[in-house]
């Protein structure tokens, strides 16, 4: 029969408890019963400050704990931030901790091992979690800062900087694997008229709805970016031109079929989409400009169209 224990650790109210547990655990003569927390606190405090990448911080934390006690896995979850990291292979007996600090939720940690946790080991783990507080908080703040720098604040999709980084990465991948790389340029039809007629607040909702419809048609590995205004770019790795056009048609249909209303009045929303496949030795700029040209051809062809390079 497996054992599961769970607890919420508020780092602020637990400080005295952690210090007390650390003192008791350090006096243990049985190293298998609990980790030597005093020495581990010191080494962890230094080690965990060497990175701001959350996966590296957690990996270092897990590796260090494994040296002191028998652990099979560590799992980290933060559903709000959509973050998940797993280390090792989950085993039968588990203990989990919800971590908070100054009222902020810092995520949930779950440890597992093949043998049941003793009370001394649980106290040792809880005391060592104190060394994770500031590295974990700093890593989460760093992740949030990076996300803000790379995301469009209105729609939540990537911005131009994020697109440049993704394209650089995907072009290198395409060259290395000799694989296809395609791009879609998407522009909302008559967007200025929508803003002028119904107001910018309604226009903002149209942008959000467009992003939602696009995401419903894309894989998790596909990139969606807003370049500003009503123009978006989709980057499709390992995708040939025929499949890219099919994706574009799905997006066009999804947006055209949306039930978009204002005060009960149905308002049509459509997009024009250009599709292009990266040519050998073509730069980011060259691929975007060719794809943008296809999008303008779709506009001239009557809008609500998909035009792919021949």
Query: With helix as H, strand as E and coil as C, how does the chain read?
Result: CCCEEEEEEECCCCHHHHHHHHHHHHCCCCCCCCCCHHHHHHHHHHHHHHCCCHHHHHHHHHHHHHHHCCCCEEEEEECCCCEEEEEECCCCEEEEEEEEECCEEEEEEEEEECCCCCHHHHHHHHHHHHHHHHHHHHHHHHHHHHHHHHECCCCCCECHHHHHHHHHHHHHHHHHHCCCEEEEEEEECCHHHHHHHHCHHHHHHHHHHHHHHHHCCCCCCCEEEEEECCEEEEEEECCCHHHHHHHHHHHHHHHHCCCCEECCEECCCCEEEEEEECCCCCCHHHHHHHHHHHHHHHHHCCCCCEEECC
Q: How far apart are CA 158 and CA 226, in angstroms?
A: 6
The verdict on whether 261 is a catalytic residue reads: no
Among 75, 126, 170, 230, the one annotated catalytic:
230
Active site residues: 230
């Amino acid at each position: 029969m497996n054992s599961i224990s769970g607890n919420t650790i508020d780092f602020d109210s637990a400080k005295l408890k952690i210090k007390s547990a650390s003192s008791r655990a350090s006096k243990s003569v049985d190293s298998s019963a609990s980790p030597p927390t005093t020495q581990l606190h010191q080494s962890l405090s230094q080690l965990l400050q060497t990175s701001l990448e959350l996966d590296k911080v957690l990996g270092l934390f897990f590796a260090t704990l494994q040296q002191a006690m028998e652990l099979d896995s560590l799992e980290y979850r933060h559903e709000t931030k959509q973050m998940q990291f797993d280390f090792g292979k989950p085993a039968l007996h588990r203990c989990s901790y919800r971590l908070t600090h100054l009222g902020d939720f810092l995520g949930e940690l779950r440890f597992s091992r093949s043998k049941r946790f003793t009370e001394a080991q649980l106290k040792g783990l809880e005391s060592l979690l104190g060394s994770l507080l500031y590295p974990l908080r700093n890593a989460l703040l760093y992740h949030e800062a990076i996300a803000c720098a790379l995301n469009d604040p209105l729609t939540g999709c990537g911005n131009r900087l994020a697109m440049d980084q993704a394209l650089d990465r995907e072009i290198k991948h395409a060259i290395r694997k000799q694989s296809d790389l395609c791009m879609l340029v998407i522009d909302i039809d008559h967007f200025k008229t929508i803003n002028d007629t119904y107001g910018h607040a309604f226009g903002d909702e149209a942008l959000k709805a467009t992003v939602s419809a696009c995401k419903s048609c894309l894989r998790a590995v596909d990139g969606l970016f807003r370049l500003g205004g009503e123009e978006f770019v989709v980057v499709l790795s390992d995708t040939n031109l025929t499949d890219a056009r099919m994706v574009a048609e799905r997006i066009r249909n999804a947006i055209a079929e949306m039930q978009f209303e204002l005060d009960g009045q149905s308002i049509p929303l459509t997009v024009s989409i250009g599709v292009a496949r990266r040519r050998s030795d073509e730069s980011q700029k060259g691929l975007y400009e060719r794809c943008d040209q296809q999008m303008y051809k779709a506009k001239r062809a009557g809008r609500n169209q998909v035009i792919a390079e021949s």
